[in-house]
Amino acid sequence: MMQKIQKFGGAMFTPVLLFAFAGVVIGFGTLFTTEVIFGSLAAPDTLWYGVWNVILQGGWTVFNQLPLLFAVSLPIGLANKQNARCCMEVLVAYLTFNYFVSTMLSQWGPTFGVDFSAEVGGSSGLAMVASIKTLDMGMIGALAISGIVIALHNKFFETELPEWLGVFSGSTFVYMIAFFVMLPTALVACLVWPHVQDGIRAFQGFVATVGLPGVWIFAFLERALIPFGLHHLLYSPFYYDNAVVNGGIYAAFAKQLPEIAASSAPLTELAPYAAFTCSTWSKMFGCPGIALAFYATAKPEKRQELLGLLIPITLTAIFCGVTEPIEFTFLFIAPALFIVHCVLAACLATAMNAVGVVGVFAGGLIEISSLNLIPLWANHWMTYLTGLVVGLVFTGIWFVVFRFLILKFDFKTPGREDDEEEVKFRSKAEYRAAKQGDGSAAIEAGAEENPYAVTAAACMELVGGPDNIVDVTNCVTRLRLNVKDETLVADDKDFKAVGTSGCMKKGKSVQIIIGLKVPKVRDEFEKLM
């Protein structure tokens, strides 16, 4: 079951990759159409405003169609065959489901406790999905329908039909079955979901009253679930769905940006719901503290080469918000350090909220600058400077705590390995050549080969070959595998030796930390199966 949950979490992250760019576009579009900042140049009747408003509305595409986007994207990671065809099947079935729901509510709305004549949004419980007025089921409904269709696709896509029925095979056959499955599914949705919405609204009220303890718990769990690949499942309903605010924190905050930019009231009063997008603080301030602790505790002769590892992975965490490269350098070596890291991350998030720093702070510095610092600096610069001071204090805390624990318990963090072990990663070609006893040809081989293919080949070898692979997916940084025999999978240090950031094994579930190039590595990996 855990393997299935992990696979689902990785697949669900696929559309999230679009949010960074969309957020940047919305941030700049909102910035350049705000009169408070640009004065008369940004007045609604100016050409400047018109051009940037066109760009801004285009940037809203991703957030306005989130359910549809999640529904169509899920098959990319979960369909066992013909992923592209499955995406089409999900799209048609999801639209069919919403047409069924819309028609049922328009005819029998009072029976289900729904006022279908109400305007979409707000407390009506209604939304527009691809121009269809339907129940606002957000991402949950989209993922449920997508999951049903993916299961049908995996089971029936290759079903052999009699030759005279051949026109109904493949995707047509899957959709035929899905069509009739959507009828009872739509009925169940009409019966159940209005009550779920009541529960969601009650939960929103509860979260709003919890205050700082709620922020601490959320921030801790968001970090702690990373090794299991389940953190996406925790934060997605908060960020992109209705767990805290209608439409998700990202969409709600972006829509409110002009109002927030024009006001000098505290951010915690203007957007209290934005307290939960707080994971970036440990990325911006925690990771540098960890890197400094690694450098300070490293052996003197290894510090220079250690910098070649620490600088890029720390900058990646700060600017892009991708922390796996640095977190996985010590997660398996010293799990206790990771727990401490999670605790400090939660404390920092809570402290930031306590001093009034809230907003969209889930990505890296690039994202938070466009959605927070640039558009809101004029009236909220003092809040951000206060947050900077708090963050730097915590950088020092991370450094002191990590340095103490590393030295106290002699953790073999990067730069403290035994003398025979190298800090620097060997190239993939070097590793393969070494395995074959021909180290002289390693560098030349690596230069001639596709680097993604080389990485894929090395990883395939280390997981026991294609015969040991059950299935493969990926999230933003990790190649996720289920294997037949976990004893055939090499150790973490072997994966690091071929240029990855390590490997996590839990039973038959294997996660290889590749980095942002993982989609290309997966493509090459699948060619070897």
Taking alpha carbons only, the member of 157, 186, 155 closest to residue 170 is: 157
Whole-angstrom distance, CA of residue 36 vs CA of residue 527: 54
Residue, of 7 and 436, whose pLDDT is higher: 7
Q: Containing H/E element for 240?
A: helix 231-240
Answer whether residue 494 shows pLDDT above 50. Answer: yes
pLDDT, one tens digit per residue, over 13-43 is: 567 667 667 767 877 787 788 776 677 888 8
Answer whether residue 288 shows pLDDT above 60. Answer: yes
DSSP state at residue 328: T
Adjacent-strand bridge partners of 134 = 127
Nearest-Å Rg of the Cα atoms of the chain is: 25
pLDDT value at position 280? 85
278 has catalytic annotation: no
Q: What are phi and psi of 413, to 5 degrees?
A: -70, 165
Taking alpha carbons only, the member of 178, 170, 129 closest to residue 150 is: 178
pLDDT value at position 441? 41
Q: What is the mean pLDDT of residues 346-370?
A: 86
Work out the mean pLDDT of the chain and round it to a whole number: 82
Specify which of 52-56, 434-438, 496-500 reaches the highest per-range mean pLDDT: 52-56
Architecture of domain 428-527: 2-Layer Sandwich (3.30)
Residue, of 460 and 121, whose pLDDT is higher: 460
Whole-angstrom distance, CA of residue 367 vs CA of residue 207: 25
Can you give the length of the chain in residues?
A: 529
Catalytic pick among 278, 459, 475, 503: 475
Taking alpha carbons only, the member of 19, 16, 28 closest to residue 257 is: 28
pLDDT, one tens digit per residue, over 99-156 is: 999 999 999 999 998 889 988 876 678 888 888 999 988 778 888 999 999 999 999 9
DSSP three-state, residue 62? helix
pLDDT, one tens digit per residue, over 333-353 is: 788 899 999 999 999 999 999
Phi-psi sector, 159: left (phi>0), alpha (psi -120 to 50), beta:
beta
pLDDT value at position 449? 60
pLDDT value at position 48? 93
From residue 434, alpha-carbon distances to 350, 430, 449 in Å are 49, 6, 16
Whole-angstrom distance, CA of residue 85 vs CA of residue 65: 20
| For the chain, domain boundaries | 2-206, 249-409, 428-527
Sign of the alpha-carbon torsion through 15, 16, 17, 18: positive
pLDDT band (50, 70, 90) for residue 323? confident
CA triplet 485, 486, 489: central angle to 5 degrees?
110
Answer whether residue 411 shows pLDDT above 50. Answer: yes
Structural contact between residues 352 and 325, judged by C-beta atoms closer than 8 angstroms: no
Instruction: Tell me, rounded to whole angstroms, the distance of Cα 229 from its chain centroid.
Output: 10
pLDDT value at position 463? 92
Burial of 379 from C-beta contacts in 10 A (0-12 / 13-18 / 19+): middle
Whole-angstrom distance, CA of residue 288 vs CA of residue 283: 8
Residue 39, number of CB atoms within 10 A of its CB? 9
Structural contact between residues 324 and 478, judged by C-beta atoms closer than 8 angstroms: yes
Q: Containing H/E element for 14?
A: none
Q: What are phi and psi of 480, to 5 degrees?
A: -105, 125
